[in-house]
């Protein structure tokens, strides 16, 4: 075993503190009894209770969740289809270009994605609102879904599909009864990630939203500009919990892909 | 790659496709199953053209080399998968699956997942899964390749017994010649996409019709020479003038090869009677000990090597050592003339 040096331990602590100290402070202050954000007034859950009376904030939360459900589902369907096309159809004409185009949004600055989508919606005279944000979030998440599902499909043992067809299952039933169950953990993980990305997003949503479709991050951002209210700490703490849970579930699912989806080889 | 071949397989037959890896035997199997499409040619079953049919509409089932068991389904669901596609009633499926599991001696394993089984058990699940559909032709792609040697021997006999019981046509692909010899009624020997010879196992071994087949199945000594006018003597080989028992089917004067299996060659210290055919002086170069037999490498006059396999306990064995001068003989009926 390698020797654990004092330097390594220090590095870990500094790194973790750098990442999580701000979040920890936020969560702790969400339980602050004092109305003044920067002054500690003892433990309390009153701001969580007060959230329940904040009608606009609850509306924004409900919009954000519906938005995330919609765009995550759309992105999962589209991204899975793109992954299938990339892995299965071999070397079709323009495959490399298609792959590059699917991955490009991964590295595209959100401001550019948001602005370009806004221009598109204006150009086609789409009424900006819930559906424009949903489409925008779908666009953003598709590439993540594709990457996750594709990695699972590359390891997929094609002889399993051949076996299903040989036993009398037509292509669609083969997909539904063999392929889909085996890549399902990857698809579920991808959906979770797309959900978390949508709940999280401020930039693209603020470009593409319209009246009546204020998402939670937009609401929080505009509230905080007028001064930080203690309720906001509570909202943010809840969001951290929700997004954190989604990411943890997604990574757990990704992990059990190995356990459940590994094709059983003839050789033991 | 399969290149211009024609092959008839009979109902109820156990047929083996034998060849080195990459010779196209698996491709041929996949063509029959419909998993590959031929550029030209047809696959007929009882006179009906199967070529345009997709794999899921062919009354043919394939047992995959890696078994391709569905990892998310248990043994019962794996075996019942094909029957479910036929739209059979649940009770009927349950009954046939249970019968099939009994036949392959896997009763009580129905609820297990493939990863909870041993290699031998997985192999039998794969066998049950493709057999339960009662295919008109049952295809097996290297079914024993993943088993260890001892298990392979037992499984071979079980497979023969199974084929006899179900009475289906079996086509097996293998690169193991002893496996093909043991299992099959007829063997098709393949090389580079072509069928070299199709014959019962004994014929393939004792009456190969080409140098390639003679050399691929077991060991062989090949001596080139010119066929004499009587068509039973071969002149000018490295071992002098040779005689065979059966008349060769080739014009007199043609260049031919005489094939002699090592186990038919006798080694003797005594010079043979003068005038005896198929007799050549040689020096022992090397002796390989195989337990039940010893294989002698012998150098003859012109420097080429011949092999002789002597069974343990046969006369002369053990007496001859490396470097000794000996005489090799074989009866005319042990030699065979090959024209290609």
Retrieve residue B171's tokens: 């086509």
User: What does DSSP assign to residue A81?
Assistant: H
Chain A partners within 8 Å of B66 (Cβ)? 157, 159, 263, 265-266
For residue range B219-277, list pLDDT tens digits in order.
888 888 878 777 777 777 777 777 777 777 777 777 888 888 888 888 888 777 776 77
CA B59, CA B72: separation in Å to the nearest integer? Answer: 26
Element (H, E) at A257: helix A230-261
A222 band by pLDDT with thresholds 50, 70 and 90: confident
For A169, the closest of B33, B85, B115 (CB atoms) is: B85
Which of B65, B20, B30, B15 lies closest to B188 in space, CA to CA?
A: B15
Q: Are A60 and A214 in contact (CB under 8 A)?
A: yes
Domain span holding position A105: 53-261
Domain tally, chain A: 1
Q: Are A107 and A155 in contact (CB under 8 A)?
A: no
Chain A partners within 8 Å of B61 (Cβ)? 166-167
The pLDDT score that the predictor gives to residue A77 is 95
Could you tell me whether strands B233-237 and B305-311 are parallel, antiparallel, or unpaired per DSSP bridges?
A: unpaired
DSSP per residue over B151-166, as a string? HHHHHHHHHHHHHHHH
Cβ of A264 within 8 Å of Cβ of B122? The answer is yes
Cβ of B123 within 8 Å of Cβ of A266? The answer is yes
SS3 for B261-324, per residue? Answer: CHHHCEEECCCCCCCCCCEEEEEEEEEEECCCEEEEEEEECCCCEEEEEEECCCCCCCCCCCCC
Retrieve residue B273's tokens: 């009677």
Residue A33 falls inside a structural domain: no
The pLDDT score that the predictor gives to residue A133 is 92
Q: Are B328 and B271 in contact (CB under 8 A)?
A: no
Helix A230-261 / helix A6-30 crossing angle, nearest 10 deg: 130
Chain B partners within 8 Å of A267 (Cβ)? 119, 146
Residues of chain B within CATH 2.40.50.140 domain(s) are: 219-338
Cβ of B68 within 8 Å of Cβ of A165? The answer is no
Helices (H), B5-148: 25-33, 75-85, 90-103, 119-131
Q: ipTM value of the model?
A: 0.76
Neighbours of A230 (CB within 10 A): 20
B314 band by pLDDT with thresholds 50, 70 and 90: low
Retrieve residue B138's tokens: 């049952």
**pLDDT(B2) > 80:** no
Chain A partners within 8 Å of B82 (Cβ)? 167-168
Give the minimum alpha-carbon distance from A169 to chain B in angstroms, rounded to a whole number. Answer: 6
Residue A223 falls inside a structural domain: yes
For an interface test with B, give the residue of A163, A178, A259, A267 to mutate (most B CBs within 10 A). Answer: A163
A70 band by pLDDT with thresholds 50, 70 and 90: very high
If you average pLDDT over residues A44-61, what whole number do you get? 84
Contacts of B115 (CB under 8 A, 6+ apart): A262, A264, B71
Q: Are B178 and B191 in contact (CB under 8 A)?
A: no
A266 band by pLDDT with thresholds 50, 70 and 90: very low
Cα dihedral B170, B172, B178, B182 in deg (nearest 10):
-10
CATH number at residue A107: 1.10.3720.10
Residue A247 falls inside a structural domain: yes
B219-338 in CATH: which number? 2.40.50.140
Per residue in B222-239, is it b (16+ CB within 10 Å) or e — as a string?
bbebebbeebbbbeebbb
On the 0-12 / 13-18 / 19+ scale of CB atoms within 10 A, B83 is buried
Retrieve residue B325's tokens: 């001068």
Which superfamily is assigned to B14-206 in CATH? P-loop containing nucleotide triphosphate hydrolases (3.40.50.300)
Which of B305, B301, B300, B309 lies closest to B334 in space, CA to CA?
A: B309
User: What does DSSP assign to residue B240?
Assistant: E
Residue A6 falls inside a structural domain: no
Cα–Cα–Cα angle for B142, B144, B147, nearest 5°? 135
The pLDDT score that the predictor gives to residue B319 is 67
Residue A210 falls inside a structural domain: yes
Residues of chain B within CATH 3.40.50.300 domain(s) are: 14-206
Cβ of B119 within 8 Å of Cβ of A169? The answer is no
Among all chains, which residue has been given the structure tokens 């996750």? Answer: A148
On the CB side of B139, CA atoms within 13 Å amount to: 24
Residue A242 falls inside a structural domain: yes
Residue A47 falls inside a structural domain: no
For chain A, the average pLDDT equals 84
Which of A180, A182, A188 lies closest to B70 in space, CA to CA?
A: A182
Chain A partners within 8 Å of B34 (Cβ)? 166
If you average pLDDT over residues B98-103, what whole number do you get? 86
Could you tell me what percent of chain A has a pLDDT over 90? 20
Residue A192 falls inside a structural domain: yes
């Amino acid at each position: 075993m390698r020797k654990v040096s004092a330097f390594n331990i220090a590095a870990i602590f500094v790194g973790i503190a750098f990442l999580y100290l701000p979040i920890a402070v936020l969560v702790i202050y969400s339980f602050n009894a004092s109305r003044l954000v920067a002054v500690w007034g003892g433990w309390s859950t009153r701001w969580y209770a007060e959230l329940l009376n904040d009608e606009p904030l609850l509306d924004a939360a409900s919009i954000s969740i519906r938005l995330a459900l919609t765009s995550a589902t759309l992105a999962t369907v589209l991204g899975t289809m793109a992954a299938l096309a990339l892995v299965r159809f071999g070397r079709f004409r323009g495959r490399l270009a298609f792959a590059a185009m699917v991955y490009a949004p991964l590295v595209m600055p959100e401001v550019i994605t948001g602005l370009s989508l806004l221009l598109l919606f204006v150009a086609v005279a789409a009424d900006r609102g819930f559906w424009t944000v949903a489409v925008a979030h779908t666009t953003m998440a598709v590439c993540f879904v594709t990457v996750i599902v594709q990695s699972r499909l590359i390891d997929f043992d094609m002889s399993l599909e051949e076996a299903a067809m040989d036993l009398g299952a037509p292509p669609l039933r083969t997909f539904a009864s063999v392929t889909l169950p085996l890549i399902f953990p990857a698809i579920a993980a991808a959906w979770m990630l797309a959900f978390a990305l949508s709940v999280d997003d401020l930039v693209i949503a603020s470009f593409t939203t319209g009246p009546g479709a204020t998402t939670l991050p937009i609401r929080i951002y505009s509230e905080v500009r007028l001064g930080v209210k203690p309720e906001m700490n509570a909202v943010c703490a809840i969001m951290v919990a929700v997004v954190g849970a989604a990411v943890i579930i997604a990574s757990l699912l990704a992990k059990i892909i190995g356990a459940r989806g590994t094709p059983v080889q003839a050789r033991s | 790659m399969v290149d211009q071949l024609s092959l008839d397989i009979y109902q109820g037959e156990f047929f083996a496709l034998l060849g080195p890896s990459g010779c196209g035997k698996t491709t041929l199997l996949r063509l029959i199953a419909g998993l590959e499409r031929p550029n030209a040619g047809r696959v007929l079953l009882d006179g009906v053209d199967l070529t345009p049919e997709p794999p899921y509409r062919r009354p043919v089932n394939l047992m995959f080399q890696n078994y391709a068991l569905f990892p998310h389904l248990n043994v019962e669901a794996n075996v019942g998968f094909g029957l479910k596609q036929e739209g059979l009633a649940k009770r009927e499926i349950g009954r046939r699956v249970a019968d099939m599991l009994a036949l392959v001696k896997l009763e009580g394993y129905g609820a297990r997942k493939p990863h909870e089984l041993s290699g031998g058990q997985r192999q039998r699940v794969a066998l049950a899964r493709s057999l339960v559909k009662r295919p008109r032709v049952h295809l097996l792609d290297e079914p024993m390749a993943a088993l260890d040697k001892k298990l392979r021997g037992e499984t071979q006999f079980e497979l023969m017994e199974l084929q006899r019981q179900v009475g289906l046509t079996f086509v097996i692909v293998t690169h193991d010649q002893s496996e093909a010899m043991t299992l099959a009624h007829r063997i098709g020997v393949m090389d580079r996409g072509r069928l070299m010879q199709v014959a019962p196992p004994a014929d393939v071994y004792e009456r190969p019709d080409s140098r390639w087949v003679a050399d691929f199945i077991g060991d062989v000594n090949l001596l080139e020479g010119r066929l004499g006018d009587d068509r039973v003597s071969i002149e000018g080989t490295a071992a002098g003038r040779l005689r065979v028992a059966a008349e060769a089917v080739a014009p007199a004067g043609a260049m031919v090869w005489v094939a002699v299996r090592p186990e038919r060659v006798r080694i003797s210290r005594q010079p043979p009677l003068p005038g005896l055919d198929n007799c050549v002086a040689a020096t022992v170069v090397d002796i390989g000990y195989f337990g039940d037999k010893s294989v002698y490498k012998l150098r003859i006059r012109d420097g080429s090597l011949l092999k002789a396999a002597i069974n343990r306990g046969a006369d002369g064995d053990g007496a001859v050592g490396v470097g000794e001068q000996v005489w090799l003989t074989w009866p005319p009926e042990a030699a065979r003339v090959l024209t290609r």
